[in-house]
């Protein structure tokens, strides 16, 4: 499994003004709708439902919100770089500026977990995160993310 299979270039965005986690989830839902044809309100509800189980802010300015959805054929992703970091109730209490969201079929089982592990390993790489923070061009961000999977990550 590679990030290039999960993340279309059109699903990579830089957002200037996100004022709340709720607004972030709405933005993720709208992008998932426009790129993958997902139902935006269902996507937002699923993200909020998963977040209510515990925050998906994993620390070091990174959040990995994810949800399982009906009617989805494969695991897909949306990546956002926020120009202004957002309070996300992360484990280290630091605001978040890198958001990689995954959407998986309701019955995906192990594929969802493999995708989440891949994204988590990629986003734990401090060099990758530094490159993401240094770029504001969505095409460059997509290239950094998809090239990062070629790096051996333990």
Q: Is 70 a catalytic residue?
A: no
Strands (E), the chain: 12-15, 57-59, 62-63, 66-69, 76-86, 96-105
Q: Degrees (nearest 5) of the Cα angle 24, 26, 30?
A: 115
Is residue 115 within 8 A of residue 75, CB to CB? The reply is yes
Look at strands 66-69 and 76-86 and give their pairing.
unpaired
* Active-site choice (17, 33, 60, 66): 66
Neighbours of 109 (CB within 10 A): 11
Taking alpha carbons only, the member of 9, 19, 2, 14 closest to residue 135 is 14
First to last CA, the chain: 15
Residue 152 β-bridge partners: none
Q: Which residues are catalytic?
A: 66
């Amino acid at each position: 499994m590679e990030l290039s299979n999960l993340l279309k270039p059109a699903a990579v965005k830089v957002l200037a003004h996100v004022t709340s986690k709720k607004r972030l989830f709405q933005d993720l839902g709208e992008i998932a709708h426009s790129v993958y044809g997902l139902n935006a309100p269902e996507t937002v509800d699923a993200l909020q439902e998963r977040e209510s189980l515990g925050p998906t802010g994993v620390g070091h300015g990174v959040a990995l919100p994810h949800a399982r959805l009906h009617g989805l054929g494969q695991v897909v992703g949306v990546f956002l770089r926020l120009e202004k970091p957002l309070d996300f109730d992360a484990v280290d209490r630091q605001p978040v500026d890198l958001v990689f969201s995954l959407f998986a079929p309701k019955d995906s089982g192990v594929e969802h977990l493999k995708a989440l592990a891949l994204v988590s390993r990629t986003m734990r790489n401090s060099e990758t995160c530094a490159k993401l923070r240094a770029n504001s061009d969505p095409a460059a961000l997509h290239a950094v993310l998809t090239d990062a999977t070629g790096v051996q990550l333990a």
